[in-house]
Amino acid sequence: MASTREQFKAANARGAAAIARGPVARAARYDSRRGLIVITLEGGCEFSFPAALAEGLASAPRSKLAKIKVSPNGLGLHWPLLDADLYVPALIEGAFGSRRWMQQIGKLGGSSRSAAKTKASRANGKRGGRPREARRHSADHRT
């Protein structure tokens, strides 16, 4: 499909607006000691996240995580050895991949175990289990 001149101009305008809104990456590196991807933003601030959270990086070896390229406009990160790409503004908003990937991450969080969760579960069990929602008794819901 051929792009028209108007479509090209519109795409450039959207790109310029995204750069103006920021955030824009100036550099990125992998901190192997902590397992973090560290992004240095245009204003000098740094944003980091665990590599294991990001789609395409989760099971990657350290050696392949270390080679990161920042796109010329600063909006994207690319791992050439993994063929993985991430969008900087989305990362900062907490989106580490596709909707499906984020759903998988959410399921993992719900299945995690901690001392606090165990304690709360035991306390609920002593009181007869998880509290039930109060049922509404209105004329609309009677059968």
**Domain annotation covers residue 62:** yes
Give 135 or 15, the one with higher predicted confidence.
Answer: 15
| CATH label of the domain that carries residue 62 | 3.30.2020.40
**Does 66 fall in a domain?**
yes
pTM for the model stands at: 0.62
Residue 75 near residue 18, CB atoms below 8 Å: yes
The number of distinct structural domains making up the chain is 1
* Per-residue pLDDT at 111 exceeds 70: no
Rounded distance between C-alpha atoms, residue 128 and residue 74, angstroms: 54
Domain that holds residue 83: 21-124
Question: Is 12 a member of any domain?
Answer: no
What's the rounded mean pLDDT across residues 100-110?
71
- The residue among 88 and 107 whose pLDDT is bigger is 88
Residue 111 covered by a domain: yes
> Looking at residues 31-35, what average pLDDT do you find?
95
What integer pLDDT is reported at residue 109 of this predicted model? Answer: 58
142 inside domain? no
